[in-house]
Structure 1
Amino acid sequence: MSFGTLPNALVVIAVVVIVLARRLSWSELENSDTDVWRGPLVLMGVGVYQLYDRHTGMGFIDVVLLVIGAAVALIAGTASGRVAQVERRAGKVFFRLGMPGLGIMVAYLVIRLGLAGVGHLLGASMSGGPALMVSMGANLLTQSVVIQNKARREAEEYSTR
């Protein structure tokens, strides 16, 4: 592990811990949605910036692993968003992942870290930190979109009662 990947790994770990802690407990889904979107977008932005900075050394294996990582992130984000619990309390919408969502997130992280390991063994230059950041950001953003859609449907259903 080079000195450059250590800060990336620490950022990814810190974001994962913070987001999981927040999403496992009941949180209000605010009307502005910025709280739900901000972290994933920042994570993706930093990852894309770092990938762009290194894009000249990108090979076929790098592209394949990035595509597989993105697909896994989108599938896991959709699945964890679908199993998330959404409740309406006193006119406000609250959500949490719960244990099924945690299981999906843990499985996603194991698969994603496995892809990074395979990439390292195959000599891919993009399988580490930046790719992990983009993948994790895409996962959390997808999860957020699914949860917000679920909350909107619940709010519409609640208003028609």
Structure 2
Amino acid sequence: MSFGTLPNALVVVAIVAAVVVRRLRWSELENSDADVWRGPLILMGVGVYQLYGKHLGLGPIDLTLLIAGVGVALAAGFLAGRVAQVERRAGKVFYRLGLPGLGIMVAYLVVRLGLAGLGHLVGAASVGGGALLLSLGANLLTQSTVIQSRAHHRAEEYSTS
């Protein structure tokens, strides 16, 4: 690991830790759809920027691992969003991942880091922080979208009853 990749790794670890801690606690789901999109899109943008800045030409192995990583992220985000707990309290919607969601997040991170390790072994250029940030952003975007959809559905149930 070079000196330049150590800060990227620390940033990714800090982001993952902050996200997991935040998503395990009950949080109010903001009514603004922008809140669902903003954070994950920023992560994805930073990931794409880092990939573009370092590796203008990605080879077939790089693209395969990148697509696999994003695919795993999307699947895990969908599953975590489906098992998240969503409650309505005093007219507001709250959510958290709970233990099943934590299990899915941990499994996702293990698989994603395994893909990064595999990429490192085969000499892929896209195994660093950029690829991890891109897939983490895709995971959180999918999670948030599914949770937001469930919250809207839950709000409709309460308004019709």
Q: TM-score range by the shorter chain?
A: over 0.9
Q: Which residue of 2 aligns with 1:21?
A: 21
Q: Secondary structure at the match of 1:56?
A: coil
Aligned residues: 161
Using structure 1 for the length normalisation, give the TM-score.
0.96
Kindly provide the CA deviation profile for residues 44-93 of structure 1, in whole angstroms up to 9, marking residues without a partner as x. 11111111113324111000000100100000000000000000000000
Q: Give the Cα–Cα distance (whole angstroms) in 1 for the partners of residues 33 and 9 of structure 2.
A: 27
Deviation at 1:141, TM superposition (A): 0.7
Deviation at 1:40, TM superposition (A): 1.6
Does structure 2 retain, via aligned residues, the 8 Å contact 1:80–1:97?
yes
Q: Give the Cα–Cα distance (whole angstroms) in 1 for the partners of residues 17 and 39 of structure 2.
A: 12
Distance 1:22 1:33, change over 3 A: farther
Q: Which residue of 1 aligns with 2:103?
A: 103
RMSD: 1.1
Does structure 2 retain, via aligned residues, the 8 Å contact 1:44–1:136?
yes
Does structure 2 retain, via aligned residues, the 8 Å contact 1:57–1:125?
no
The share of aligned pairs that are identical, in percent, is 73
Using structure 2 for the length normalisation, give the TM-score.
0.96
More displaced 10-residue stretch of structure 1: 6-15 or 132-141 = 6-15
Note the residue ranges of structure 2 that are not aligned, 5 or more in a row. Answer: none
The question of 1:51 aligning with 2:88 is answered: no
Note the residue ranges of structure 1 that are not aligned, 5 or more in a row. Answer: none
Kindly provide the CA deviation profile for residues 130-150 of structure 1, in whole angstroms up to 9, marking residues without a partner as x. 100100110011100000000
Q: Which residue of 2 aligns with 1:135?
A: 135
**Runs of 4+ residues deviating >4 angstroms:** none
